Homo-oligomer: A and B are copies of this chain.
Amino acid sequence: MTVGIVGIGLMGGSFAKVLKKYKLANKIFGYDHNINHQKTALELGLVDEICDLECLKKCDLIVLCIPVDGIIAFSKNLVDISQNTTIVDFGSTKELIVNNLPIEIRSSFVAAHPMTGTEKFGPEAAIDSLYEDKIVVLCDVWQNSSYHLEKVTNIFKSIGMRIIQMDAKEHDIHACYMSHLPHAVSYALAKTVMCHENPNAIITLAAGGFRDMSRIAKSSPNMWCDIFRQNRENLLDALNIYESKLAMLKEMLQNEDYDAIHKYMAKANTLHDILK
């Protein structure tokens, strides 16, 4: 199988690495508009060759690991691929993508969201363990032909992923609460601390809790701006609910109602009965 990876950053580079680890590809091509990424991907041996669009379109599998707006735009370039070429995208939002694909490639385009990542980005961030033991959500697979769906499913299984199928609209709501809202919350916390604390205090007093809570505020603005745009309505809903929960805590503190705060915290604790 020849594989063409569009966007050789954390996700694309790590996918190339794991394909090599499990010997799933005869040849891996890289396609990236960033010349530095091309160079680094070759130097690190993530891909065998950098290719142009025509060469990319001849691959057996094309993997789109670019920001979500880019996925929709790029899909227009692929309308004349062979019926045997499968496309898969790794975007964090799914509804707008599946609703804006060219009809010519709809059955061969598998919409996937691997539930993994780190706050790092670029080809240097690629690691071959990124996908193992992780979940990948496949959306609206009823629109895929069984040939393409099976091909993608087999690859994900071969690299140790667990597969969940979901409606794209439903996926975007869940992904909002479980990933996009936490990113917004972390960015806002980082902004608050940058605004109030001096660098010396930050370095001195940052313990594990703060480091965890601010880690994803390091995530790529290019990638996350697109995600916020594509999942705007769900994220606004989630931010409203989050603001109300925070306001509730603040009000209890204003009223010095510590019994209520204790109950609030104890309820929050129960999340970890689910999430062991």
Contact = CB atoms under 8 A, between A and B. Distances in A.
A196 B216 contact: no
The complex is assembled from copies of this chain, and their number is 2
B185 A205 contact: no
A265 B225 contact: yes
A102 interface: no
B218 A187 contact: no
Interface stretch (A19-27, A48-56, A142-150, A256-264): A256-264
A119 B191 CA distance: 24
A116 interface: yes
Interface string A237-254: 011011101111110011
Given A202-B274, A271-B193, A229 B258 contact: yes
Nearest to A216: B209
Interface stretch (A10-18, A35-43, A73-81, A171-179): A171-179
B265 A221 contact: yes
A267 interface: yes
Contact of A174 (B117, B205, B208): B205
Which bracket fits the contact residues of A? Answer: 35 or more
B175 A218 contact: no
Interface string A167-207: 00000001101110111111111111111110101111111
A201 B172 CA distance: 12
A242 B209 contact: no
Q: In the complex, which of the residues A137, A193, A202, A269 has the most CB atoms of chain B within 10 Å of its own CB atom?
A: A193
A1 interface: no
Nearest to A200: B274
B185 A189 contact: yes
A232 B249 contact: no
A213 B196 contact: no
Contact of A265 (B175, B212, B224): B224
Interface in A62-112: none
Nearest to A273: B199
Nearest to A134: B207
| Shortest Cβ-Cβ A-B pairs, 4 listed | A221-B265, A190-B268, A212-B212, A182-B213
